[in-house]
Amino acid sequence: MFLLELPTANLLYLVLYLATLVLHVVAMNYVVGGAMVVAGAAVFKVFRGYCDATQAIVDKIVDWLPLALGVTITLGVAPILFIQLLYKHAFYTANLLLFHRWMAILPVLIAAFYLLYLQKTNWIQQRAAFVRALVALGVLGMFLFVAWSWSENHLLSLAGEGEWVEHYSAARNWHRSGELLPRLAMWVIGALATLSVILAWQLRGRTTTAVVRRLAGIGITGGVGAAAAGAWYWTELPTEAKLAIRQPAHLVVLATAAAGLVVMLAAWGHMARTGRLSTVWLWWATAGIAVAIAAATVLREVRRYVALHTVDQWEPAVEAAINAARLQGFGVFALFLVINTLVIVWLIARVRSRLHAHAN
Amino acid sequence: MFPYYPINDFGPVMKGMVIGGLGIFHVFLAQFAIGGGMLLCYFQWRDNKYGDRLARRFVDGYFRWLVLVSFVTGALTGVAMWLTTIQISPRTIGLMVDEFHWLWATEWTFFCVEVASGYAFYRYAKILDGKTRLLLLQIYAVAAWMSLFWINGILSWQLTPGGWLEDRSIWAGFFNATFWPSLIYRTLASMAIAGLVAALVVNVASGFSADERWTLVRRVFWFLAPMALMPVVGGWYLAVLPADSRGWVMGGSIAMTLFFTLGAGASLLIGAYAIAMFARPKLFVNGATAAMLCVLAFAATAGGEFVREGVRKPYTVRHTLYSNSITNDEVAYFREVGCVTNDPYPLINASSYPTDQLVLGARVFRMQCSICHTMDGANGVMHLAGTWSIDQLRLNIAKLQYTKPFMPPFAGTPEELEALVQLVRWEHEGRPGEWDTSDDETVLRHIADSLAKAGTQSMIPRP
Ligand code: HEM
């Protein structure tokens, strides 16, 4: 298990990187999965009307997407900080090589943000179905572009100096790799699984059987689709990566991810049959997907470890992180992490209690 | 091992201008968000205390603007600043992260509070009681200001690292000489910007009567009153600047002085208008005037940001890292080994140069000069030195840190220097298809002598 072989200083940053990345991924899944569902529904509506269940789901997503995007971006800031500590040379190099292509994610995200607000206005609700479909597809396209850029940047950062120099000399704007599509497919389709669970919590108490079955459909598509994309990814992995994943410790992580998915699928299967969102089963689904995401994030790091080893970038990266490691300031961070988490929890609780009071 | 990165060509634009340009937008938006938070607290307080319904309507109307504009663009331009800094100088941002990651992580926890409180307010304010509304706004305002607090320490450290230079203590670096004046100055600026933007919004928003507009505009203008402290705080800032940086602002560098004057002049005009408002109770600010004042505030921000980026030269982190990503110690090393000898990245358009020497010159230029110069665009070396004789070029580049103290010492071998000189001449001659390679031993010896005389240290004395 490569994680356990790391020096302590490094491990601290890696754990923080992984933990904050998991949070980013959860929020990102709501954004990407949500945009897929909304776009799918909007296109469907151009040809045929849809039922109340779909409407309820779409309304909920459209209502929360702007916040979800804000949260995704904010939660992306923490891993982007820690990744610089751990792998700055590789990360910066990939950023620089992709240049305009990479920087394009920023205007695209600004545009997407305003389109999300546009989607919430009455004005757009009164436009023709195909106009709304166009907007929804635009939003989805933008998010897919951003997700793709992150995956592409990631793979380029792992490619090593030989590939970097070639990329630079040829003034390329794109980094092609057989891994890109399956990898992206795994993130994007898997997003539906996370989305289904978060939506279920949001809609709990106001669901019909039809809504539950729709949600189960979304969740099961996400889970099964991610597994299929994972199998496809396996066929594209270089031999060294396959060997590393076959090591017992890493196999345990893989099995954990699979178990998480299975639990989530089983929970959705059960709720679909009963047509009810039971709290207990919803917790199972939540735990399942959470475990699956965490384990997948660790496996993602195994891939990086193998890649950087292959191109002799691992040792220098570890050494650089050790040189930069320091404890001065950590206490302040830990203190405000706790305080500010409490502040956020408190303010949400306070607003909720006022909303309940208001509703009664 | 020197960390080589692929260096991109920004065409005719100076790289510093890219950061400066984006920085203006970001700082303006971020300061607006900070001052806006305070402004909203004040109006919500009025609502709670006096039952001021107009104040409440203003909060509900104004906040949507705040959210839409500053949340979205402020957060994203923040990420954009980060990614742009990586594009311009990966080594600088790398050093900043290495030193201050825990404080940056701390700032991030405040971002999270901003998003949570801001969004909760945006979404539910209409159905919340006054006390909860005020609490949310206070949390938002404090979190927004705290993010300024943290980033301000890191940015001011770049210019005045102070005690950090001795023992690498991050607190000595964080609470550096310019920390307080720049924090206070930015806070004052935030309040002024928020007041001006609010005056504009009140004018263009529908739903207020003329009387109501008048009342609101006069109220928001109180947020400009603290500007009275700006001259004092600005003076304080100048006083604690290193002498060389201060010299450039005060006439030593035409560009810096110009930007400084622009910033100070725009602030003065705004201040004069504010004084007129306080002196004449009948005066009103209409939409056009408010818009013009906002433009002035933007100009003031622009002046300030360019000065802040500019006065650090030749360093991005003073006495530690030069703008071209080379450290003090590496200058001496590159004098021996050559700065591009181990650079794995070839020139993209190497075939457009007729000789290997010119290719070498172009690689040296890319590595050492391209961060501040283009060849024939903004701050183009051709325009600056095209007419110099070849020996003048050799000498002035060899003692680069004396030619202009805001340039770093030349960090390469005599061969590399000669290649750079040939490149400038060749460009000046209009890039002819044939060019002689110069490999005269006496010339190289002369250059070596000049380099030795110039030494490897910056002109700027380290305390
Ligand atoms: C809608 C917006 C976004 C989407 C859809 C998105 C999507 C993704 C995806 C798919 C990955 C995984 C890449 C891979 O492993 O192949 C990822 C990783 C990451 N994202 Fe995001 N992202 C978004 C916005 C952001 C923003 C704004 C930031 C920074 C502030 C950010 C920071 C990160 C970081 C640091 C990683 C890890 C990269 C690495 O390890 O190489 N993301 N994101």
CB contact under 8 A, A99 and B111: no
The whole-angstrom separation of Cα B157 and Cα B144 is: 20
Compute the average pLDDT of residues B217-228: 93
The Cα of B229 is separated from the nearest Cα of chain A by a number of Å equal to 31
Whether residue B405 sits in one domain with residue B272: no
The Cα of A52 is separated from the nearest Cα of chain B by a number of Å equal to 25
Q: A184 C-alpha to center of ligand 1: Å?
A: 11
Q: Which residues of A touch B72 (CB under 8 A)?
A: 70, 110, 113-114
Whether residue B239 sits in one domain with residue B363: no
Mutation choice for ligand 1 from A14, A20, A24, CB with most ligand atoms inside 8 A:
A24
Model confidence band, residue B459 (pLDDT cutoffs 50, 70, 90): confident
The Cα of A68 is separated from the nearest Cα of chain B by a number of Å equal to 11
Q: Which residues contact B432 (CB under 8 A, 6 or more apart)?
A: B354, B426
Ligand 1, atom 24, lies closest to the CA of A73
Q: Which residues contact B418 (CB under 8 A, 6 or more apart)?
A: B357, B394, B438, B443, B444, B447
pLDDT at A312: 87
Of B258, B286, B317, the residue that ends a domain is B317
Compute the average pLDDT of residues B384-395: 92
Q: What is the dihedral of CA A139, A141, A142, A147, to 10 degrees?
A: 120
Residue of A nearest to B73 (CA): A110
Q: What is the DSSP string of B144-178?
A: HHHHHHHHHHHHHHHH--TTHHHH--HHHHHT-TT
Whether residue B245 sits in one domain with residue B380: no
Question: How many residues make up chain A in this entry?
Answer: 360
Domain, as residue range, for B372: 326-454
The whole-angstrom separation of Cα A42 and Cα A138 is: 11
Of B317, B337, B354, the residue that ends a domain is B317
The whole-angstrom separation of Cα A16 and Cα B121 is: 30
For chain A, the structural domain boundaries read: 2-327
Find the CB nearest B86 among A81, A95, A329.
A95
Whether residue B265 sits in one domain with residue B169: yes
Ligand 1 pocket list (CB less than 6 A): A 21, 24, 28, 31-32, 69, 72-73, 76-77, 79-80, 83, 109, 143, 146-147, 150-151, 154, 157, 183, 187, 300; B 79
DSSP SS3 for B315 = strand
pLDDT at A4: 76
In this structure, are strands B315-317 and B321-322 parallel, antiparallel, or unpaired? antiparallel
Mean pLDDT of chain B: 92
pLDDT at A157: 97
Indicate whether B401 belongs to any domain: yes
Lookup: tokens for A298: 């660790």
DSSP SS3 for B346 = coil
Q: Is B98 on the interface with A (CB under 8 A)?
A: yes
Interface ipTM above 0.90: yes
pLDDT over 90 percentage in chain B: 79
Find the CB nearest B112 among A88, A344, A350.
A344
Indicate whether B4 belongs to any domain: no
Model confidence band, residue A222 (pLDDT cutoffs 50, 70, 90): very high
The whole-angstrom separation of Cα A301 and Cα A310 is: 14
CB contact under 8 A, A340 and B110: yes
Indicate whether B345 belongs to any domain: yes
B 157-176 residues inside an 8 A Cβ radius of A = 169-171
Mutation choice for ligand 1 from A21, A25, A28, A237, CB with most ligand atoms inside 8 A:
A28
Residue of A nearest to B80 (CA): A106
Ligand 1, atom 6, lies closest to the CA of A147
Compute the average pLDDT of residues A4-31: 93
CB contact under 8 A, A347 and B135: yes
Q: B82 C-alpha to center of ligand 1: Å?
A: 14
DSSP SS3 for B316 = strand
Whether residue B170 sits in one domain with residue B40: yes
CB contact under 8 A, B115 and A164: no
**What are the Cα distances from residue A121, in Å, to A59, A135, A137, B124, B268?**
12, 12, 17, 17, 41
**Is residue B112 pLDDT above 90, yes or no?**
yes
Tens of pLDDT, residue by residue over A134-180, are 999 999 999 999 999 999 999 999 999 999 999 999 999 999 999 99
Tens of pLDDT, residue by residue over A256-299, are 999 999 999 999 999 999 999 999 999 999 999 999 999 999 99
Q: Which residues of B touch A77 (CB under 8 A)?
A: 78-79, 108, 111
Lookup: tokens for A291: 């475990």
The whole-angstrom separation of Cα B400 and Cα B409 is: 5
Q: Could you tell me which of B331, B318, B330 has the C-alpha nearest to residue B406?
A: B318
Model confidence band, residue A76 (pLDDT cutoffs 50, 70, 90): very high
pLDDT at B77: 86
Tens of pLDDT, residue by residue over B252-284, are 888 889 999 999 999 999 999 999 988 888 888
Whether residue B168 sits in one domain with residue B93: yes
CB contact under 8 A, A113 and B72: yes
Indicate whether B2 belongs to any domain: no
pLDDT at A39: 98
Model confidence band, residue B19 (pLDDT cutoffs 50, 70, 90): confident
Q: Which amino acid is at B382?
A: M
pLDDT at A27: 98
- In chain B, the number of structural domains is 2
Q: Is B103 on the interface with A (CB under 8 A)?
A: yes
Whether residue B162 sits in one domain with residue B68: yes
Tens of pLDDT, residue by residue over B144-160, are 999 999 999 999 999 99
Indicate whether B165 belongs to any domain: yes
Ligand 1, atom 18, lies closest to the CA of A150
Q: Which residues of B touch A169 (CB under 8 A)?
A: 345-346, 348
Tens of pLDDT, residue by residue over B33-90, are 999 999 999 999 999 999 999 999 999 887 777 777 777 777 888 899 999 999 999 9
DSSP SS3 for B322 = strand
Whether residue B179 sits in one domain with residue B263: yes
Q: Which residues pair with B13 in a beta bridge?
A: none
Whether residue B305 sits in one domain with residue B339: no
pLDDT at A5: 79
Tens of pLDDT, residue by residue over A304-337, are 999 998 988 899 999 999 999 998 999 999 999 9
**What are the Cα distances from residue A114, in Å, to A25, A67, A234, B124, B125?**
22, 12, 38, 20, 21
Compute the average pLDDT of residues B4-24: 84
Q: A123 C-alpha to center of ligand 1: Å?
A: 32
Atom of ligand 1 nearest to the CA of A153: 41
Four-residue CA torsion sign, B372, B375, B378, B384: positive
Q: Which residue has the tokens 């560098």?
A: B253
**Window from A248-262, B246-260, B361-375 with minimum mean pLDDT:** B246-260
Of B268, B298, B317, the residue that ends a domain is B317
Ligand 1, atom 11, lies closest to the CA of A150
pLDDT at A7: 84
CB contact under 8 A, A337 and B109: yes
Whether residue B378 sits in one domain with residue B255: no
Q: Which residues contact A18 (CB under 8 A, 6 or more apart)?
A: A294, A297, A298, A301
Whether residue B51 sits in one domain with residue B168: yes
Q: Could you tell me which of B305, B321, B311 has the C-alpha nearest to residue B159?
A: B311
Q: What is the DSSP string of A19-33?
A: HHHHHHHHHHHHHHH
* 8 Å CB contact between A289 and A198: no
CB contact under 8 A, B169 and A328: yes
Whether residue B343 sits in one domain with residue B249: no
Please report the number of interchain residue pairs, chain A to chain B, with beta-carbon separation below 8 angstroms: 173
pLDDT at A203: 95
Tens of pLDDT, residue by residue over B175-211, are 999 999 999 999 999 999 999 999 999 998 888 999 9
CATH number of the domain enclosing B45: 1.20.1630.10
Q: Which residues of A touch B71 (CB under 8 A)?
A: 70
Ligand 1, atom 39, lies closest to the CA of A154
CB contact under 8 A, B117 and A347: yes
Q: Which residue has the tokens 């779409």?
A: A58
Ligand 1, atom 9, lies closest to the CA of A147
**Is residue A245 pLDDT above 90, yes or no?**
yes
pLDDT over 70 percentage in chain B: 100
Model confidence band, residue A205 (pLDDT cutoffs 50, 70, 90): confident
The Cα of A246 is separated from the nearest Cα of chain B by a number of Å equal to 34
Query: A345: how many CB neighbours lie within 10 A of its CB?
Result: 11
CB contact under 8 A, A78 and B108: yes
Helix count (H) and strand count (E) of chain A? 14, 0
Indicate whether B9 belongs to any domain: no
Q: B356 C-alpha to center of ligand 1: Å?
A: 42
